[in-house]
A and B are shown apart, each in its own frame.
Chain A
């Protein structure tokens, strides 16, 4: 499986500010996904990030709030804009691996707390 690194691993953010999460993969991957996991909840897909095109957002998520960049095949960023306490979550980057079943593999996650 690919090695996926996320930064920051944790942060405490002020209400109204924005934070950019970076995701770096050690190999070229076509598709990257960003998930959100609110406290005590399951994972919810925010968007699919493909290189060279706009990200595709899931219902309930909009580009103005969660802008995504995908400048190349090994890197992506997710920005959480104008944060409120409801944005306190783990944000996870994932990629499709080369193993069976197109399994997706995850980075370590970025724990954001908005105060």
Chain B
């Protein structure tokens, strides 16, 4: 069964506008971490933001914020004031606690296109 679900294969956003990329997850662990990564066409994986399952505040990093709704098991990424350089693939990922250790699993990704 899918543990990380990203339902938007592609998204378009106008430059300078905000965009939300959806992510839902499935776990029975109480302790887990949620991550977002950006992958430009160069192929490198760039870490953007982290949210811990016990964190009460939504994580923010510059123009990135994570809308964490624990009861709904969702961890949406919000990018404010989109820039042309934000055009890339975005992956939601989860690390479970317990026997899973530090293994991080990834969703299918969302390709974001920023229009000028």
Interface residues of A (CB under 8 A from B): 1, 31, 33, 41-45, 48, 90, 92, 94, 96, 99-106, 108-109, 111
Contact = CB atoms under 8 A, between A and B. Distances in A.
B11 interface: no
Given A101-B33, A104-B102, A43 B91 contact: yes
Contact of A108 (B33, B43, B47, B103): B43
A108 B29 CA distance: 31
Interface in B19-42: 33, 35, 37, 42
A104 B42 CA distance: 19
Contact of B102 (A90, A92, A96, A99): A96
B19 to A, nearest CB: 20
B105 interface: yes
A105 B47 contact: yes
Contacts of A94: 45, 104
